[in-house]
Amino acid sequence: MDWGHLALGLIAGLLIATITAPVGVSGAVFLLPVQMDLLKVPNPAVTPTNLLYNVVSGPGALLRYRTQGQRPGELTRYMLAGTVPGVIAGAFVRIYLIPDARPFRLVAAAVLLPLGVWLIWRTLRPSARPRTADPSVRLIVGLGLVVGVLGGVYGIGGGSILAPILVARGLPLAKVAPAALASTFVTSIVGAAAFGLIALRTHGSVAPDWGLGIACGLGGLIGGYLGARWHRRLPERVLALMLGATAAALAVAYVYQSLR
């Protein structure tokens, strides 16, 4: 990987994290097309490289949220109870069972597109919002397990899927955003380690591209810190619209990548 590709990765990580960090999304899913189409990272190495991006970039946004008094809290523990075992299982599924992640992308798109559209509609029509109870611990752990498997297969920490679901269930973004990012950070550490261990006993492009993952992550580290600052300056309604638009855009990206 030459210096030009590393610089492109750093810039991409910076721009993506700046936009997505305010709504609790690391932006790793948007980095995947850059890695595959522009930087030509081979499969399945693109998955652990994306997880490495999350590991390096995560502390930027989390540090900023912490200085703003927004701590992850117990919501993160509930998420991690599902995502950590899920991402380990997903890593084995990705390497040994489903090298092609297309089916998972289409399933995620089928969930995210209507969810994103509904979040946008609900936010634009606040009087039509239904009253919803906070999600149960069992539901959060169960969702975390499913999202963790997707994270291990596709190289995302899971915040991009968990955050819009939890906000749609009635949790405020001020609580969800730091918790989702913290869950993404820890889950990505576990996932990257799982891929690293599997690579020791498996032939092919299984290990992450360390140089590129770190370069993208350094960009995301800066962008995440900057993006988290916007969270306090933007109204909840604007943040909810951003989250809905992000979920819908992710769904479109999943479909595009699946049909390529």
Number of Cβ atoms within 10 Å of the Cβ of 51: 31
Give the DSSP letter of residue 70.
Answer: -
| pLDDT, tens only, 159-216 | 778 888 888 788 888 888 889 899 999 999 998 888 888 877 776 666 778 899 999 9
pLDDT band for position 222 (cuts 50, 70, 90) = very high
**pLDDT at position 157:** 72
2 or 177, which is more confident: 177
SS3 category, 182: helix
How does the average pLDDT of the chain come out, rounded?
A: 82
**Cis preceding linkage at 44, omega within 30:** yes
Give the pLDDT of residue 204. 62
- The percent of residues above 90 in pLDDT, for the chain, comes to 19
| Contact predicate 146/85, CB 8 Å | no
The pTM of the full predicted model, rounded to 2 decimals, is: 0.80
> What pLDDT digit, counting tens, does each position of 100-115 carry?
656 667 766 777 788 7
Q: What percent of the chain has pLDDT over 70?
A: 90
Per-residue model confidence as pLDDT tens digits over 79-96: 999 999 999 998 888 777
Residue 82, token pair as written in the block: 């599902």
DSSP secondary structure letters along 19-80: HHGGGT---HHHHHHIIIIIS-PPTTTHHHHHHHHHHHHHHHHHHHHHHTT----HHHHHHH
Residue among 224, 92, 80, 243 nearest 172 (CA): 243
Two structure tokens written together for 202 = 């498996």
Which candidate, 60, 27, 20, places its Cα nearest to that of 156?
27
Give the pLDDT band of residue 140 (cuts 50, 70, 90): very high
Assess whether pLDDT exceeds 60 at residue 127.
no
Mind listing the pLDDT tens digit for each residue in 30-78? 787 788 778 888 777 778 888 899 999 989 989 888 888 888 788 999 9
Q: What is the pLDDT of residue 72?
A: 79
d(CA 6, CA 27): 18
